[in-house]
Amino acid sequence: MKFSIVLITGNENKYREIKILLSKFKIEIEKLDLDIPEIQSNEIEEIISDFIKKAYEEVRKPVIAEDSGLFIRKLNGFPGPYTSYVYKTLGNEGVIKLMRDIEDRYAEFKCALAYKDDKYEKVFIGISKGKISNEIRGKGWGFDPIFIPEEASLTFGEMNVEEKNNYSHRGRAINLFIEWFRKTYMID
């Protein structure tokens, strides 16, 4: 039996990263862009928990959705839940400028991934520890070209999707989800 899950997102990059991991198992994924407003909160877990309930109400099929953020230590966790807004306004150049005289470049990407069906509602957290690079390197999307995960020397922007998934917040959250899902629904 093949399981089918609807990923609620308008972000093609997130879809590609999630699909490649799920497709190794009998889990089919379909992308749906729904216009559901996100609540304002400093906690991405809270944002996604509210979002997944509303998404399930609309779709009435197993759904997943995720919210991610970049948390820079020296900037007290900024931009965190405002990452999307900061990307649109400052972009990679703006963040590099903001960090120009800062020696401690530690940052974390965090992903809160929520799943809901008629029986279960769960949130999985994936974290990628790393640092902000000194310059823009590679392509990728969002802050990919300025984030170097701690176990690598390349930015996410210099990696292909599979390599990025090995280190990324999203890859880690999805793998936790897959582990739970396969155990719960006993699939190979």
Residues with active-site annotation: 67
For 3, 13, 56, 111, the CA distances from 59, given in Å and listed in that order, are 16, 22, 5, 22
Torsions phi, psi for 95 (to 5 deg): -70, -40
**Cβ-Cβ contacts under 8 Å for 165 (sequence gap 6 or more):** 17, 20, 21, 171, 174
**Cβ-Cβ contacts under 8 Å for 159 (sequence gap 6 or more):** 138, 140, 152, 167
Choice between 27 and 48, CB closer to ligand IMP = 48
Residues that bind ligand IMP (CB under 6 A): 11, 67-70, 83-84, 87, 141-144, 156, 168, 170
User: To the nearest whole angstrom, how small is the minimum distance from the Cβ of residue 147 to ligand IMP?
Assistant: 7
User: To the nearest whole angstrom, how small is the minimum distance from the Cβ of residue 169 to ligand IMP?
Assistant: 7
Choice between 12 and 184, CB closer to ligand IMP = 12
User: To the nearest whole angstrom, how small is the minimum distance from the Cβ of residue 83 to ligand IMP?
Assistant: 4
User: How many CB atoms lie under 10 A from the CB of residue 114?
Assistant: 26
User: To the nearest whole angstrom, how small is the minimum distance from the Cβ of residue 139 to ligand IMP?
Assistant: 11
Choice between 3 and 87, CB closer to ligand IMP = 87
Residue nearest to ligand IMP (CB): 142
Say which DSSP state 34 is in.
-
Is the distance from CB of 5 to CB of 32 less than 8 angstroms?
no
3-state secondary structure of 37: coil
Choice between 16 and 60, CB closer to ligand IMP = 16
